Amino acid sequence: GQQLNQSPQSMFIQEGEDVSMNCTSSSIFNTWLWYKQDPGEGPVLLIALYKAGELTSNGRLTAQFGITRKDSFLNISASIPSDVGIYFCAGLDNTNAGKSTFGDGTTLTVKP
């Protein structure tokens, strides 16, 4: 089946630093989604991308849909302690409508 490679697996940063993470796939996706999971809770949608090349922001978060449609990037600027959690990317293609493929997540730790 389709697989997503999400990197890095984990990050330890100081409060105030910027963060970058990405997802790559051997398959083309038509939609990329980024979720955040706080400890003990379900994932929450952060940003949805529907068009190749699209750049979308949500507060301090910016995500991009790669032009090849095989990758996506998430940046967090000026990190704060509440950014701690696991960030997941998910890709969907039109042949499997409704079936998202999830990456294994990037665990972010922010040191005050």
Partner 1 sequence: NAGVTQTPKFQVLKTGQSMTLQCAQDMNHNSMYWYRQDPGMGLRLIYYSASEGTTDKGEVPNGYNVSRLNKREFSLRLESAAPSQTSVYFCASSPTGFEQYFGPGTRLTVT
Percentages helix, strand, coil for the chain, rounded to the nearest 5?
5, 55, 40
Closer residue to partner 1 in complex, CB, 4/11: 4
- Decide if residue 67 touches partner 1 (CB under 8 A): no
- Decide if residue 1 touches partner 1 (CB under 8 A): yes
Burial of 84 (0-12, 13-18, 19+ CB in 10 A): middle
Q: Which stretch binds partner 1 (CB under 8 A): 11-19, 35-43, 61-69, 71-79?
A: 35-43
Contacts of residues 47-53 at CB distance under 8 Å and 24 or more positions apart, as own/partner, are: 47/74
Considering only the C-alpha atoms of the chain, give the largest distance between any 2 of them, rounded to a whole number of Å: 44
CB 75 within 8 A of CB 62: yes
Q: Which stretch binds partner 1 (CB under 8 A): 13-21, 33-41, 57-65, 68-76?
A: 33-41
Closer residue to partner 1 in complex, CB, 3/68: 3
Interface residues with partner 1 (CB under 8 A) are: 1, 4, 6, 31, 33, 35, 40-45, 48, 50, 88, 92, 97-100, 102-105
